[in-house]
Amino acid sequence: MKYQDFLDQYPVLNTLITTLLSNDLLSCKLDDWEVSKVEVFSSTFVHNAENLVAFRNALVQHNLIVSSKFYSRVYIKNLVRLFNVEESLVEKQLCELILSKQVAAKIDRPSGIVTMTVSKPEDELLDAWVGDVDNILDLIDTTAN
């Protein structure tokens, strides 16, 4: 069975996955997602509370990743207002994304500013480093002669 065939059987789950793959900011209110219609979030499921927390965290992380594409500097309070969640949740999820290298950012907690940067691929960094070393060697060669 193909994934799309499986998802076609569960329209709410299909909507959840499709929207999580988009580049749009998503509502972090669980009521907006009709989660009660998805089995893993229903009260009869064994770990439904943990699943709801994980889903909300995934929504916040998705919004942070999308925000990092559009903002270079943003106040944490603006993210809190935009996502409609607690500040501690935004900070925690942002730290997890930074540690897992999904987002390149720095948090200035005293001023409440997050500076997002575009991380360069490793091969570009290596090429830049090699270019810098070549320049230094050229300077040494020039000054030695």
Reading the block at residue 50, the tokens are 């943990």
Task: Write out the CATH class of domain 3-144.
Answer: mainly alpha
The string of pLDDT tens digits covering residues 77-94 is 999 999 999 999 999 999
The string of pLDDT tens digits covering residues 29-40 is 888 887 777 777
4 vs 58, more confident:
58
Q: What was the pLDDT predicted at 39? A: 77
Q: What was the pLDDT predicted at 124? A: 77
Q: What was the pLDDT predicted at 1? A: 60
Domains of the chain: which residue ranges? 3-144
Q: What was the pLDDT predicted at 143? A: 79
pTM across the whole model: 0.74
CA distance 73 to 105: 9
- 37 and 12 in contact (C-beta within 8 Å)? yes
Mean pLDDT of 29-52: 82
Mean pLDDT of 113-126: 79
Mean pLDDT of 106-134: 83
Query: Alpha carbon 133 to chain centroid distance?
Result: 34
Q: What was the pLDDT predicted at 132? A: 81
Q: What was the pLDDT predicted at 139? A: 79
Which long-range contacts link 30-34 to residues 24+ away (Cβ below 8 Å)?
30/55, 30/56
